[in-house]
Structure 1
Amino acid sequence: MYEASVGLFVPYLRNLSALLDKGVAYAEARKFNPAVLLGMRLSPDMYDLAQQIGEACRHATVASALLAEREPVVLPVLEHDMAGLQARIATSIEFIESLPRAAIDGAAEQQVFFRLKNGTELPFTGRTLLLTFSVPQFFFHVTTAYDLLRHAGVELAKKDYLGRK
């Protein structure tokens, strides 16, 4: 369970941070404000880049906290600035890495409830939370962030998404 949660979330959050760095470098090389990238969206009814990053962090921290039977870290209000998003990612990584491995490994059959933004609670076991909800949600938002940066012209490749191994 630990490897299926922390073992996935942390490296891909680091990759997400590196993608943002590439976006900043791209904007600076072309002499425009990198914050412009954060408002981009694929469709008018989808979250923008900043919100995609915020949701990736939220799903990773909440799922990990639920598995460890801890309160999730309180992330600051989502701002549309690169430094704030980098800080959000760093805080998420730090929190997730601080959680006890034994508690997460023992959470496969434990009953957990994921609270949606509207207050609705969805029941899961630890295993189904990861496999059917949190990991897919996390990767949806990380992938969409990658796609937005690619669409903006940032020179990214699959190895940037996957991380350098």
Structure 2
Amino acid sequence: MPIQNIDFIKTIFHTRLTTLDHLLKSAQTHFKESESFLQERITTDMFPFGTQVAFTCNQPRNFALWCDSKPMDNLDPKVLSLAQAHEHIANTKELLSAIKTKDEKLNEITRIDLGEDLYIEMTGNAYVNDFLMPNFYFHLVTAYDILRIAGVPIGKRDYMMHLVPFLKNR
């Protein structure tokens, strides 16, 4: 079922950005403050961890800009420091918190420029469900996978942090 509520979309992005920040802090601890892990990648033809942070942030960032009827504005993909990575996450969360758009925005037609004179037009609902969310999770999972491959001691609990409020004891 498609997500059709602005506040719910904001919550999904915000909680998963908290997960991304947690993963980043776990890597910092594991690598003892070395920033070299920002250049780790799964394979040579994929972007490094630092770029995955920027690309993960771009989805909620562009959602917030779209909600405010502003053009897409992707972050610099060259994330070369921990401070820059944390700043991207914090700034993206601030943009999300500032969204004041009504749910009707999701019914509007939007145009997404893909470069090389290519674009797609779709409703806001399709933009969120078929473009933003798949890209968001792809880059979040890729960031997680890079850290796992690099030896950071994280697991599913670290990735699924958004479920912590629902945990119960028997």
TM bucket (normalised to shorter chain) is 0.7 to 0.9
Q: Distance in 1 between matches of 2:77 and 2:48?
A: 15
Q: Which amino acid aligns with 1:38?
A: L
Aligned position for 1:11: 15
**How many equivalent residue pairs?**
159
The C-alpha deviation readout for 1:22-59, integer Å capped at 9, x for no partner, is: 0000011xxxx531111111111111101111001111
Q: Which amino acid aligns with 2:141?
A: T
Contact in 2 for aligned 1:67/1:126 (Cα 8 Å): no
1:59 aligns to what SS in structure 2? helix
Structure 1: 5+ residue runs without aligned partners? none
Q: Distance in 2 between matches of 1:60 and 1:119?
A: 24
Q: Which amino acid aligns with 1:2?
A: I
Moved over 2 A (4+): 67-79, 114-122
TM-score of the superposition, structure 1-length normalised?
0.86
- Listed as ranges, the matches of 1:34-49 within 5 Å are 34-49=34-49
Contact in 2 for aligned 1:5/1:64 (Cα 8 Å): no
1:108 aligns to what SS in structure 2? helix
TM-score of the superposition, structure 2-length normalised?
0.84
Contact in 1 for aligned 2:109/2:122 (Cα 8 Å): yes
Higher mean C-alpha deviation, range 62-71 or range 14-23: 62-71
Aligned position for 1:24: 28
Q: CA deviation at 1:7?
A: 1.7
Aligned position for 2:147: 149
Structure 2: 5+ residue runs without aligned partners? 166-170
Higher mean C-alpha deviation, range 109-118 or range 128-137: 109-118
1:113 aligns to what SS in structure 2? strand
CA-atom RMSD in angstroms: 2.0
Q: Distance in 2 between matches of 1:10 and 1:72?
A: 19
| Cα gap change, 1:41 to 1:77, in 2 (>3 Å) | closer
